[in-house]
Amino acid sequence: MTSLPQSPPATKLGLVIDLDTCVGCHACAVNCKEWNTGGHSAPLTDLEPYGESPLGVWFNRIHSFEAGDGAEGRTVNFPKSCLHCDEPACVTVCPTGASYKREEDGIVLVNPDTCIGCKLCSWACPYGAREYDYTDGVMKKCTLCVDRIYNENLEEVDRVPACVSTCPASARHFGDLGDPNSEVSQLVAERGGYDLMPEMEMQPVNKYLPPRPAKTSTGDTGAPAALPDHDIAPVEATGRGFLAWVDRTLSR
Amino acid sequence: MNPAYSVIFFTTASGAGYGLLTWLGVAVLFFDLPAHRWFGLAAFAVALTLITVGLLASTFHLGHPERAWRGLTQWRSSWLSREGVVAVATYIPAGLAAIGWVFLTNNDGIWAWLSAVAAVLAVVTVLCTAMIYQSLRAIPRWNTPWVMAGYLGLALASGALLFHFGVRTFGLGFAWSGWAAALLTIAAWAIKLAYWNSIDNAAPRATAETATGLGHLGKVRLFEAPHTGDNYLMREMGYKIARNHAKRLRTIALILGGAIPVVLAVVATQLPDVTAALVALLAVISAGAGLLVERWLFFAEAVHTISLYYGTDAA
């Protein structure tokens, strides 16, 4: 059923992604691929993996942006996966009922047995969270590792999405964003976590933590603020002597 | 957006077919169109073939065409599903009306009402098709009522040109249908011009700054894409067309789809049936070519917000 749940999910499992600490190592994307190519949506097909133009299914991608100029300018690594929106247009446009939002935890999933591969959900998602598998002919997407987070065969500490468990910078946090007292909700409140493209009115569950203010001055290390000027006369092309001759010859 | 040929062909062909069905219904109900057997056979055959071929073409781009029937189940939430349901439903009154017309040479009474129901469903189908695109917020240039107006206008105009060709071919009179087709074609392309004007002047709905939430730091520019190669998202939604290129194609679409058919349809009103039919056929062919260019542009010019994550400034 592609209508949204009658009562909005009270539990909203999702991710909080810290743009301040992400180092852009792509480990989350790699571990995501590794887990999910054997999980709920397996396989995550690659086409021509060693060929001229490799193409593959990925649920997680790390972009990198420059924001601002000069001293205030930043380079920000920007991981992006499905935001498991509260008002997911990708679900309501689905003509078959293959796409659905779970009432119990808000996770957005695709049933690969009923998906007809019309790709309309990927058109409806403003964020690019949906991935078509050309080989299977069905749409796939981030499952929030639904096959890990409830998996009693795993140690409790491992019952988090693959991207979260592997992040070496602790830039990805997993939890219930529907509970204002959860660790992730408090993190969002503390750091001013925000929604991507709120104007699209999808009400994403995943939140992003902004980069902390950049340091624009150094601490006092005792070093001089600037090095003293030394008069180093440039070699002029019109000058005399051996170096000037070399310079002129090379400049010809 | 990547202009997929199956969808371009589907929306133009079935649009013209539904337009023709609409005019058959209108002509029967309000203008006492005679139940000419061979005209009926030809008109319903052309309309239903265009619709059917279009619908079949639209299943070609599916990953699993054999599951297409599942697409009829979610009419509560999905415009694509609604379109499928109404498209299939249209066959019933249209098919029955065709039987009455062709086999019983009767288009009065109940048969007229069946034609009328088919006409209404045909219009609803075209509106549902338009709503599939118009309802997508992620493609801001489509998220405007001009889309619905354009789809309906062009479907009715191309249907009118087909109807005009039909009545002149079978010598049923109705020479004034050339004027009607010309006026509808002018109206449809006026809507299209208004759509182009609106998308050219629309303020961006989303920007690289809102897509990343980093606008407070200043201008946001893509530094590194996630990978050096292509991906599904860029193939399907990253299609870009140069501005000059689009401008030229708009002119071509306007001439082929608008100007030439209008002139030919008006000329046909002044000619005897046989030559009028030939001229009306040329109008249909030219309009079809113009429509294909217009529909190709509709997709190629639409910028998806996903491009904001791949180096585009605004959508």
pLDDT at A232: 66
pLDDT at B277: 95
Residue B315 lies in a domain: no
Rounded Cα distance between B302 and B142, Å, is: 7
Window B:18-47, CB contacts with A under 8 Å:
none
Chain B contact for A47, CB < 8 A?
Answer: no
In sequence order, what DSSP letters do the residues of A87-102 get, joined into one string? Answer: S-HHHHT-SSS-EEE-
Could you tell me which CATH number the domain at A13-209 has?
3.30.70.20
Residue B114 lies in a domain: yes
pLDDT at A222: 76
pLDDT at B127: 98
Residues B88-122 have pLDDT tens digits of 999 999 999 999 999 999 999 999 999 999 999 99
Rounded to the nearest integer, the mean pLDDT of chain A is 92
Q: How far is CA A222 from the centre of its chain?
A: 40
Where does A142-236 show beta strands of DSSP type E? 172-176, 207-209
**Which residues of chain A have a CB within 8 Å of the CB of B73?**
95-97
How many Å from the N-terminal Cα to the C-terminal Cα in chain A?
Answer: 76
pLDDT at A1: 56
Inter-chain touch A65–B62, beta carbons under 8 Å: no
Residues B36-48 have pLDDT tens digits of 999 999 999 999 9
Rounded Cα distance between A249 and B11, Å, is: 70
Rounded Cα distance between A101 and B80, Å, is: 19
User: Which candidate from A2, A64, A98 shows the least CB-CB separation from B224?
Assistant: A64
- Domains of chain A: which residue ranges? 13-209
Inter-chain touch A196–B212, beta carbons under 8 Å: yes
- With 60 as the cut, is the pLDDT of residue A235 above it? no
Residue B89 lies in a domain: yes
Chain B contact for A244, CB < 8 A?
Answer: no
pLDDT at A187: 97
Residue to substitute from A23, A46, A83, A119, interface B, most B β-carbons within 10 A: A119
Residue B90 lies in a domain: yes
The confidence band for A236, taking pLDDT boundaries of 50, 70 and 90, is low
The confidence band for A246, taking pLDDT boundaries of 50, 70 and 90, is confident
Q: Which residue has the tokens 């007229």?
A: B112
pLDDT at A224: 72
Chain A contact for B76, CB < 8 A?
Answer: yes
How much is the average pLDDT of B136-145? Answer: 96
Chain B contact for A146, CB < 8 A?
Answer: no
- Counting residues of chain B whose pLDDT is more than 90, the rounded percentage is 92
pLDDT at A238: 64
ipTM of the complex: 0.93
- With 90 as the cut, is the pLDDT of residue B175 above it? no
Rounded Cα distance between A76 and A163, Å, is: 18
Quick check: A126 and A29 in contact, CB under 8 A? no
- The total number of structural domains in chain B stands at 1
- What token pair was written down for B158? 């191309």
Q: How far off is chain A from B108, nearest CA to CA, in Å?
A: 38
The confidence band for B23, taking pLDDT boundaries of 50, 70 and 90, is very high
How much is the average pLDDT of B194-221? Answer: 96
Structural domain including B242 reads 5-310
Q: CATH number, domain at B107?
A: 1.20.1630.10
Residue B42 lies in a domain: yes
- What token pair was written down for B251? 């002119």
- Counting residues of chain B whose pLDDT is more than 70, the rounded percentage is 100
Give the single-character DSSP code of B186: H
pLDDT at A184: 97
Chain B contact for A131, CB < 8 A?
Answer: yes
Inter-chain touch B233–A122, beta carbons under 8 Å: yes
A6 vs A172, residue with greater confidence? A172
How much is the average pLDDT of A66-79? Answer: 92
The confidence band for A244, taking pLDDT boundaries of 50, 70 and 90, is confident
Peptide bond between residue A43 and the one before it cis (omega within 30 degrees of 0): yes
